[in-house]
């Protein structure tokens, strides 16, 4: 193995699926494996073929598939106590998987040997040694995962060291030190890994969990101490609070530590990979993840944005394009002129410095009233445009009214009447809905549709109301956020008022006006 290269071993398809709320189908696993190979990881752990039929099916499905970068690994335990390797069903299931790599885990903690395996320390060493030697004799690349290594080392360092040494002497290509309970601190990690590096004759890897919040830091520390094999999962998915997050580790290793992890040109695809796995797993993508989150390079404070306009490195630790992300400016009550100038350029609106100063004051006043422009950027775009003398809105509100009335039985219906002017022509429409906001939206849509039939593709997808001053009870000021799509774009608008209908009307009219900007 190259000294300056770190081999990435992805265990999303096995360890990652132990996260609560994740259940991947066979096709899901295959698609993720293909995406991981495209990204360029060295190993993909497909599952434990001896534990469930789906994992066995996965290995059958990928047996004849071509992977350009990754080796497929099957995972399983050492032989059972008092059983010969050739008679052990788990080891035979690993053989039947037909993978070039097998990863065998065994116990490095004397507590687990006695209380979990219920055997003696010598038999455990034989279980490790014989299992590794058997797989090597079958021509496999063997990775030995030393489960609970660090807890075992703290309790009985001599025995923990014996477990990895017998694996190495039996022919293991790499022994992986596992912080299975996730409780290690970085200073402890550095000390222990350096000791192991001096004792073990084969390559050393690291596998960490995040129970103490240190999984990424512990992984990087282990690499700095000499480990050249890193195990983790995409987005840190895993049991309890998760595994080490490869979407953070890989950029840190490659950009900060100068370690070769993935092929040239692959790193800008890491955000795409992160989003893809989250989508397949049916989990929300966290905007605040390092490197790959939508907010990783988003700037809100006015002083920060002012500095960023002079030098992007002033408040960014890397160029976001290196990881396929982008720099973003957020508009809020914390904004300065720089925020407005950046956002105006993004929206294609020509704003000078004096205009930006006036806009900042208006934003602060509106946000004090309850508006939130960072959540309703379409409303922000319209605010900028409306300040330009040349801007002409596609329609003008004349009047509206909405009311509710009881129906027979327990239900309540709503009606709305909307009067708008388009190019000097007055449109007066009414609609009935299941609530006052729904009725208003339908009436407005009907009035606009005569002139703008392209609105047929525009649809509301979400409607949120937040109470801003709950101590005022039903008279509280509210903020309304509305999400719309038109098949190509998605946008959000905001309204605020002590009257929920008025707040909703602001957000609704902004949404339709924004839809007509094209």
What CATH number is associated with residue 78? 3.20.20.70
Nearest-angstrom CA–CA distance, 383 and 391: 11
Question: Taking residues 461-488, what's their average pLDDT?
Answer: 80
pLDDT at 152 (0 to 100): 92
pLDDT at 369 (0 to 100): 66
Strand, coil or helix: 113? helix
The answer to whether residue 2 sits within a structural domain is no
Q: What is the DSSP code (8-state) at residue 245?
A: B
Question: Taking residues 395-409, what's their average pLDDT?
Answer: 83
Strand, coil or helix: 354? helix
The answer to whether residue 353 sits within a structural domain is yes
pLDDT at 383 (0 to 100): 77
pLDDT at 518 (0 to 100): 64
pLDDT at 423 (0 to 100): 87
Residue 138: Cβ within 10 Å count: 12
Report the DSSP beta bridge partners of residue 233. 245
Residue 485: Cβ within 10 Å count: 15
Distance of CA 17 to the CA centre of its chain: 15
Question: Is residue 336 pLDDT above 70, yes or no?
Answer: no
Whether the model pTM is above 0.85: no
Whether 423 and 313 map to the same domain: the answer is no
The answer to whether residue 27 sits within a structural domain is yes
Whether 343 and 470 map to the same domain: the answer is no
Whether 305 and 215 map to the same domain: the answer is no
Nearest CA-CA partner of 510 in 429, 393, 430: 393
Tell me which of 50-59, 316-325, 328-337 is least confident: 328-337
pLDDT at 245 (0 to 100): 97
Whether 305 and 420 map to the same domain: the answer is no
Nearest CA-CA partner of 81 in 131, 127, 144, 135: 127
DSSP characters over 252-297: IIIIIS--B-S-TT-GGGHHHHHHHHHHHTT-PPPTTSTTTSTTTT
The answer to whether residue 128 sits within a structural domain is yes
Nearest-angstrom CA–CA distance, 238 and 235: 9
pLDDT in tens, 148-184: 999 999 999 999 999 999 999 999 999 999 999 999 9
Strand-strand pairing, 203-208 and 229-232: parallel
Tell me which residue range forms the domain holding 216.
7-280
Nearest CA-CA partner of 402 in 368, 442, 367: 442
The tokens describing 423, both together, are 């190019």
* Residue at which a domain ends, from 317, 343, 362: 362
pLDDT in tens, 365-386: 776 766 767 667 887 778 778 7
pLDDT at 492 (0 to 100): 86
Maximum distance among all alpha carbons in the chain?
93
pLDDT at 216 (0 to 100): 97
Helices (H), 87-169: 89-97, 110-115, 121-137, 149-155, 157-169
Question: Taking residues 90-107, what's their average pLDDT?
Answer: 94
Tell me which of 133-142, 155-164, 297-306, 382-391 is least confident: 297-306
pLDDT in tens, 231-265: 999 999 999 999 999 999 999 999 999 999 999 89
Report whether 101 contacts 74 (CB < 8 A).
yes
* Residue at which a domain ends, from 216, 247, 280: 280
Helix H or strand E segment including 500: helix 500-515
């Amino acid at each position: 193995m190259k000294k300056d290269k770190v081999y990435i071993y992805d265990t999303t398809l096995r360890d990652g699926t132990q996260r609560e709320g994740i259940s991947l189908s066979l096709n899901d696993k295959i698609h993720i494996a293909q995406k991981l190979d495209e990204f360029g990881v060295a190993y993909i752990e497909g599952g434990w073929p001896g534990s469930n039929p789906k994992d066995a099916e996965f290995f059958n499905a990928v047996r004849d598939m071509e992977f350009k970068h990754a080796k497929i690994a099957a995972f399983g335990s050492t032989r059972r106590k008092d059983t010969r390797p050739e008679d052990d069903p788990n080891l035979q299931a690993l053989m039947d998987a037909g993978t070039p790599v097998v990863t065998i885990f065994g116990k490095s903690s004397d507590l687990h040997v006695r209380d979990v395996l219920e055997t003696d320390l010598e038999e455990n060493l034989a279980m490790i040694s014989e299992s590794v030697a058997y797989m090597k004799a079958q021509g496999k690349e063997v990775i030995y995962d030393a489960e609970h290594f660090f807890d075992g080392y703290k309790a009985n360092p001599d025995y923990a060291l014996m477990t990895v040494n017998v694996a190495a002497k039996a022919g293991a290509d790499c022994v992986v030190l596992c912080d299975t309970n996730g409780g290690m601190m970085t200073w402890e990690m550095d000390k222990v890994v350096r000791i192991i590096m001096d004792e073990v004759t084969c390559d050393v890897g690291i596998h960490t969990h995040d129970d103490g919040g240190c999984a990424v830091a512990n992984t990087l520390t282990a690499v700095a101490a000499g480990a050249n094999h890193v195990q983790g999962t995409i987005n840190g998915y895993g049991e309890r609070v998760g595994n080490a997050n490869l979407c953070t580790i890989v950029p840190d290793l490659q950009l900060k530590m100068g370690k070769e992890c993935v092929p040239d040109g692959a790193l800008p695809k890491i955000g795409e990979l992160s989003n893809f796995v989250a989508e397949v797993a049916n989990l929300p993508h966290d905007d605040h993840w390092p490197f790959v989150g939508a907010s990783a390079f988003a700037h809100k404070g006015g002083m920060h944005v002012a500095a960023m306009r002079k030098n992007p490195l002033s408040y960014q630790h890397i160029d976001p394009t290196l990881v396929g992300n982008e720099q973003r400016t957020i508009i809020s009550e914390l904004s300065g002129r720089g925020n407005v100038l950046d956002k105006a350029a993004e929206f294609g609106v020509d704003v000078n410095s004096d205009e930006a100063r006036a806009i900042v004051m208006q934003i602060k006043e509106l946000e004090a009233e309850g508006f939130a422009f960072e959540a309703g950027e379409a409303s922000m775009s319209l605010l900028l445009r409306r300040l330009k003398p040349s801007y002409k809105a596609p329609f003008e509100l004349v009047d509206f009214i909405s009311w509710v009335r009881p129906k027979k039985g327990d239900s309540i219906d709503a009606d709305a009447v909307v009067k708008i002017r388009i190019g000097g022509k007055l449109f007066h429409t009414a609609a009935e809905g299941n609530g006052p906001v729904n009725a208003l939206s339908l009436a407005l849509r009907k009035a606009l549709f005569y002139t703008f039939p392209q609105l047929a593709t525009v649809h509301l997808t979400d409607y949120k109301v937040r109470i801003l001053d709950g101590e005022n009870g039903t008279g509280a000021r509210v903020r309304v956020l509305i999400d719309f799509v038109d098949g190509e774009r998605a946008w959000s608008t905001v309204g605020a008022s002590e009257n929920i209908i008025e707040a909703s009307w602001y957000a609704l009219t902004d949404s339709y006006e924004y839809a007509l900007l094209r």
